[in-house]
Structure formats: structure tokens, C-alpha cells
Structure 1
């Protein structure tokens, strides 16, 4: 327990910096590293992915709130659109957590490997996405929000890699899409993390220090450091060659994907 807490302090530093520097949620880094940490502590093999995903989502609540405060001060959030998407994302995330419990650990692992490969490719070869000039089709917010919520809960992410392109394709410029996506991550993380805590409540095979499927020592370690390093990452983004660093980070994600696949 102590070893995981200390390792999670370092993981939180890295996850916070990467989130601020590269504009992606920490889940892409947190989930695979937690999987490895839990394997070293010999957690139950069928529960490792669920615990890693649930813990990652719980940390996303705090990092998303910090991000939203910053974006709100800058006036970048489209609150009307966020409120439009939030109910279906909230529902989808809760359903996604329930669904994840019925997916085999091996299939859940491959879901995440696929996500890492996709994210790595997007970072290595970024495309310039332009805001659509067509009127926003907001009736799609409900089914798309539901789908994003389900997939985010299964993968342990805030959904930004899906929400941002969708919002840009519906007329928002990039900075507003990123800010609004950060806001949408809160209902996703809150709903999914709560659902995972409830779903694992009666499971006697979970390790000591668990709240349902949330592993509290890892959660505490990540939150304690990531809330301080995420703003640092955002500042570094204005000083360092972010596009070049994204390609290096893409290699890291690719290595994590290969390790999880192996």
C-alpha cells in the first residue's frame, strides 16, 4: 500500500504535467502505469483493469475542476453546450461502468490498448481541425454524449479525445471546444467513479484500502501532486516546443500500449 502511494505521487506529477502540456487527460498515462503497479502487488488479475480505470476516473474529478476554473476565468467555456451534453454523458458514464464489470479483463485491456494506439497516432501526426461553418446539429448531442460517456467510463478517461473533435465539427473553435470538453469531463468522471465505487462495494476480493473499485492510496497520491503540476504543464506549453514534445510523448504512449498488449 505504501509503495503504491509513493509511486502514485510521482505518477501524479507526470500525469499533471502531461495533461497541462499536451492537452490530454491523465488517464492515458495513469491507467497503464496503475495496471503495472497493481500487477507488482499481485492484485487479483480479473480486477486490475477495473481498479485502474475506476481510480483514474476518480482523480479526473479533481483535475477537471481545476481546469474548468482556469478556463472559466478566461471565458472560453460554452456553458450552454456543456449543459446540453452533460445529462447524456452522466447517464452514459454510469452505464459504461456497469458494462465494464461484465467485460472480461483481457477484452478490457485490449480496449485500452486500442485507445492508446489511437491517441499515440493522433499526437504523432496531428491534423489541423477547423471549426465547421455549418449550423450545429445539437440534436446529436444526446446520442453522441451517451456514447462518449460509455466509452470514457470503460477506458478510464475524461473523454476529451472524443468530445473536442465532435464540438469542433459542430462549430466551436478549438480553444472553446477544449474548455467545454474539460467541463464535460466532470459529469463523466463523477458518474463513472461513483458507479465503480458502488459496484465493487460488496466485493471481498478487493485489496485493503479500496472503496469499491477505487483504490484510495493510488487515488490520494495522484491527486496530491497532479493538481499542482497540471498548471505547471500549461505554463510549460507556452515555453517549450509542444509539437515536438507531443511526438516524443506519442512514443511513450506507444511503448505503454505494446507493454499492455504483451
Structure 2
């Protein structure tokens, strides 16, 4: 029950940020799991299992509030799904202890990026169609490998290209459900076919996944209200700092 409550609050915080900013659920959850000693592939599989529920709730809310640019959505999905499946295949074929320092370093970079992102405003203009496929492919790839990254890479990239925040965040969140589904199915396929040789008993993290799911689903409907109270830049700044501290502590332990 102790683990459940910890991850309930982690899931709630992560979903609050993700619903408000279109990023960071996976990064926050994965960073905390890794800090508990979970190997990268297992952490990513656990986070994506939880995200099947939270992205469905978040995407549904954005559809309800008409925050989706469907043309952008359908440009994102195929490349995000391809990148996610490829990332899961690569991660499950690597030794967990070998890849862990690289994943920790990646999360530290993501934390630093989110922190720096909180100090600047992005101008709005039409998003060039050519930037969407590579962003979605790289976002899906790193989302699977690092357990998070779809939002920080894709949302930030599209906003940086001038996309309108409401439709960028809504479209990226809605597309994330299908990317998450492809990553989860890829982990399951790797497990069934024996490609994931050092796969642990996935029930080991069942309580953590349940906490992430419950915390995320409970908070998802209220994220829109919460961001009217908490300044987005401060929220992003605090989360970026938290991720940096956790990731650097992992690197220190590994050294």
C-alpha cells in the first residue's frame, strides 16, 4: 500500500503537468521508477502500461473540448507509432544494466530542456508540414527507450515551429494513446517471442503501475482547471528541476 500511495501521487503530479503542458508524464514516472532501481526496459513497459489508461482519459478530454487539429493528428500517428515500436524493439534487445546510464543521462537532458523551456515564450505561426514526420518518429523512438519523451520532443518541437498551443497540446495528447498502444504491444511481442531475454516478472511493478494509473485518471479531468491557478512556466520549471535532481542522483549512484 505504501508503494501504491507513492506512485498515486507521482501519477497525479505527472498527469497534472501533462494535461496542462502536453508533456512530462512519462519522463516524471520513468525517472521515479529508475530511482527505485527498476531497469530501463521494465520501467518503460510499466509506464506505457499505465499510460494506456491516462492517455485515453486525457485524449478523450481534449476531443470533448475540441482541442484537436485532425490533420496534424493523422500526420503524427503513423510516424509516432513506427518510432515507438522501433524503440521498444531496440530497448528490449539491450542489457538493462548497460543501457541504464544512457537512459539516466537522457532524462537529465530532458529535465534540463524542460527547465530552460520554462523561461521563454514561443511565437505562434503555422507549423510547416515537413517538420511533423521527423519530430513524431524521434519522439516515438525516445519515448519507448527512455519511458518518456513523446511530449517534450513533439509538443516542444511543434510549439517551437509556431504551432497554436491549444491544438498542438490536444493533438499530441490524443496521438499519444496510439503511440503508447504500439509501444505496449511491442513490449508484449518482445516478451512472447523471447527477444526480451532479461524480461523480469512484470507483476513485480503491479502496485506501482496501479498507483500511476489511479493517480493519473483521477487528476486528468481536473488538469484544465488546475492550470488556471498554477502558472504554467512555474509548473514546468519545478518539474524540470525535479527530473534533473532525480536523474543526476541516478548518475551519481552509477558512478
Shared fold (TM-score, shorter chain, > 0.5): yes
Matches within 5 A, 1:82-231: 82-106=73-97, 108-125=99-116, 126=118, 127-133=120-126, 136-138=128-130, 140-157=131-148, 159-170=150-161, 172-201=163-192, 202=194, 206-207=200-201, 209=203, 215-231=205-221
Cα distance change of structure 1 residues 260 and 91 upon mapping to structure 2, 3 Å threshold: same
Unaligned runs of 5+ in 2: none
**RMSD, aligned α-carbons:** 2.6
- 1:93 deviates by 0.8
Counterpart-to-counterpart distance in 1, 2:149 and 2:248: 22
- 1:242 deviates by 3.5
Unaligned runs of 5+ in 1: none
Q: Which moved more, 1:123-132 or 1:198-207?
A: 198-207
Cα distance change of structure 1 residues 204 and 174 upon mapping to structure 2, 3 Å threshold: closer
**TM-score (structure 1 length as normaliser):** 0.81
Cα distance change of structure 1 residues 22 and 205 upon mapping to structure 2, 3 Å threshold: closer
**Secondary structure, counterpart of 1:200 in structure 2:** helix
Partner of 1:15: 14
- 1:4 deviates by 4.0
Aligned pairs, how many?
247
**Secondary structure, counterpart of 1:256 in structure 2:** helix
Stretches (4+) displaced over 6 A: none
Cα distance change of structure 1 residues 137 and 194 upon mapping to structure 2, 3 Å threshold: same
Q: Which moved more, 1:167-176 or 1:82-91?
A: 167-176
Q: Which has the higher helix share?
A: 2
Q: Which moved more, 1:143-152 or 1:87-96?
A: 143-152
Say whether 1:261 aligns with 2:251: yes
| Paired residues of 1:158 and 1:185 also in contact (CA < 8 A) | no
Counterpart-to-counterpart distance in 2, 1:204 and 1:141: 35
**TM-score (structure 2 length as normaliser):** 0.83
